[in-house]
Structure 1
Amino acid sequence: MKCPFCGTPSTQVTDTRENDEGDLIRRRRRCNECDKRFTTYERIELKMPLVVKKNGSRAEYEREKLFGSMKLSLRKRPVTAESVEAALDRIEGRLLSLGEREIPSEKLGELVMRELKRLDKIAYIRFASVYRNFEDAEEFSEAIREVSSTARNRNSKRN
């Protein structure tokens, strides 16, 4: 590590500590040339895949953008921000586990719909109506039947 004071590449680690969550390492360093001390931090940098849109263009994955579209679907619904954050964490975990450099926007949309279906059925229908570009009331009805049958199957398994 190069010294920020004199630029010498010869520095020595004097102390290393990990934070409580285990995702950050703090290192105290001392320059062998000017003897000044400084701190560096190490954290894992995970690279999210690029999103390939329907028109073929590519865009960086943006958590905030996904959060915004989910919140729009969840507007005036009884779902906590923590639940939405957890859903986003699951989506990002899935994206990372795929190990792909690029992901089609359709696949990302399907992951979002799966999470919304778990969180709130109405939000799922709202998102699906825009995402799947419903043309008529029959498509709405089909999505509602799908959600209703999933809920009935889940309830019958519990009993």
Structure 2
Amino acid sequence: MHCPFCRHTDTKVLDSRVAEDGCSIRRRRSCQSCEQRFTTLELMQLTVLKRSGATEAFDRDKAIRGVRKACGGRPVSEDDLARLGQQVEDALRASGQAEFPAHQIGMAILEPLRELDDVAFLRFASVYKQYESAEDFEIEIASLRRHRSEQLASMLDGGELEPTSAGSG
């Protein structure tokens, strides 16, 4: 580590702490030459293993670009996409791995996208799950319906929603 003040290469770590985000380490350092103190932030580099065998740094914006296409014409805002990108990156970091096959990143996008928009989810899933027939879509739609029913039942059980009686009004 080079000192940002004198560029000397010999620095001493005085203190190390996990940062508030839980995904990085904050280190307080001291230069052995000029004795200036400074802070560094270390973040785990996520890499993507492409089908060709090449690797590249994970780019949240690139992941969002693919999702943006699936969200075309849907009521999904740029803020929604930014939150989705953050959720995906957080999930990848939480796994403890540093390298991910490109396909695994696409699959990691599916869960938060399902919560965001059903149609965009189906569009995106059709590519990443390689749907080959209408039956594949039917199976996925049935899965979406089960998921929504389970969510509704959970919210009713948890008291988040009040059941309404049909025909009253």
TM-score normalised to structure 1 length: 0.70
Q: Which amino acid aligns with 2:45?
A: K
SS in 1 for 2:43: coil
Corresponding residue of 1:20: none
Partner Cα distance (1:68, 1:107) in 2: 16
Q: Normalised by the size of structure 2, how large is the TM-score?
A: 0.66
1:138 aligned onto 2:132:
no
RMSD: 3.2
CA separation in 2, counterparts of 1:2 and 1:135?
A: 56
CA distance in 2, matches of 1:154, 1:63: 28
Cα distance between partner residues in 2 of 1:87 and 1:44:
23
Q: Deviations over 1:48-100 (max 9, x none)?
A: 2x222344432321111101001111111112211211111111111112221
Q: C-alpha separation between the residues in 2 aligned to 1:52 and 1:8?
A: 36
Kindly report which structure 2 residues correspond to 1:29-108, keeping only aligned pairs within 5 A, or say none.
42-48=40-46, 50-108=47-105
5+ long unaligned stretches in structure 1: 10-22, 25-31, 33-39
Change (3 A) 1:2 1:64: closer
User: Cα 1:97–1:142, aligned 2, differ >3 Å: closer, same or farther?
Assistant: same
Counterpart position of 1:126: 123
Identity level (%) = 22
2:147 aligned to which of 122, 145, 150: 150
Deviations 1:116-151 (A, max 9, x none): 101001100000111112111111111111111111
For the residue of structure 2 that corresponds to 1:59, the secondary structure is strand
| Structure 2 residue ranges without an equivalent (≥5) | 10-23, 27-33, 157-169
Aligned counterparts of 1:41 and 1:157: Cα–Cα separation in 2? 45
What number of residue pairs does the alignment pair up? 139
TM-aligned CA distance change 1:41 to 1:130, over 3 Å: same
Structure 1 Cα separation of the partners of residues 91 and 140 of structure 2:
24
Structure 1 residues 51 and 8: CA distance shift in structure 2, 3 A = closer
Deviation at 1:44, TM superposition (A): 4.5
